[in-house]
Amino acid sequence: MAKFRFAQWLWDGLFALEEFLFEWDEGNATKSQEKHRITCSEAEEVFTCRRFVPLGEQVQPRAPEARFAVLGEAAGGRLLFLAFTLRHRTIRVISARAMNEKERKLYAALRQE
């Protein structure tokens, strides 16, 4: 399981963006849909509806490109975990799945703060 380190700059940077731009490659666009029944639009809604809490930067396992994660809620209410990269202010979602129980509790606690 991946481990993340909180990054204040990520928190500040995501909330400062006026508009979110997304990049989907063919594999990632279909992987989350096929494997977890999460559409690209649901994943994007987590950001565009601004209902997310950044977990931070992935520190383990190491990846060739910096990876980040958020916990968030799509417009329809689904609670999602998203792993992504940032490329020149563009979000490239790597993986989107439903939050597990531990993540749901963490998300609820952080949203109350």
Whole-number pLDDT of residue 29:
78
Instruction: State pTM to two decimals.
Output: 0.90
Q: Are strands 21-23 and 52-60 parallel, antiparallel or unpaired?
A: unpaired
Residue 112 — pLDDT band, cuts 50, 70, 90?
Answer: confident
**pLDDT > 80? residue 41:** yes
Containing structural domain, residue 28: 3-112
Whole-number pLDDT of residue 54:
92
**pLDDT > 90? residue 69:** yes
Residue 111 — pLDDT band, cuts 50, 70, 90?
Answer: confident
Residue 97 — pLDDT band, cuts 50, 70, 90?
Answer: very high
Q: If you search the block for the tokens 């396992």, which residue do you land on?
A: 61
Over residues 23-42, the mean pLDDT reads 86
Q: If you search the block for the tokens 């494997």, which residue do you land on?
A: 35
Alpha-carbon distance of 80 to 78, in angstroms, equals 6
CA-to-CA dists, residue 44 to 48, 80, 82, angstroms: 6, 11, 10
- Number of domains into which the chain is organized: 1
Residue 8 — pLDDT band, cuts 50, 70, 90?
Answer: confident
Over residues 67-92, the mean pLDDT reads 94
